[in-house]
Amino acid sequence: MDTSTSITQLIDLLGWLGTALYLIPYYLLVRGSWSYNSNKFHIWNIVASVLSVINAAYHGSIPVAASCGIWGAIAGYGMIKNKLSKHKINGNH
């Protein structure tokens, strides 16, 4: 096995891990085990986004890389929004 094959296999493994990190939180959300405004939901989505962007970019799929990057940015926005909302509720303006 040459180096390029090993790298491709690693990148593909990261892509599959990213896919799992998208699907598991979504399943837990639909099941009612997780809330859409929990930090762990957003963190899992951000990590999934990063892994999926790496995989898509490596394979030259720019539209997929872009959509995964946007997904991660939305998750980051969700975390910030939750933090600001909690901050406001606690009376810390």
pLDDT tens for each residue of 2-41: 888 999 999 999 999 999 999 999 999 999 999 999 999 9
What is residue 92's predicted lDDT score, i.e. its pLDDT? 62
- Please give the distance of CA 46 from its chain centroid, rounded to a whole number: 3
Mean pLDDT over the full length of the chain: 93
Q: Residue 88 has what pLDDT?
A: 74
pLDDT given for residue 91 in this prediction: 65
Q: Hey, what amino acid is at 2? A: D
**pTM exceeding the 0.85 threshold for the entire prediction:** yes
Domain ranges in the chain are: 3-89
Chain CA centroid to CA 7, Å: 22
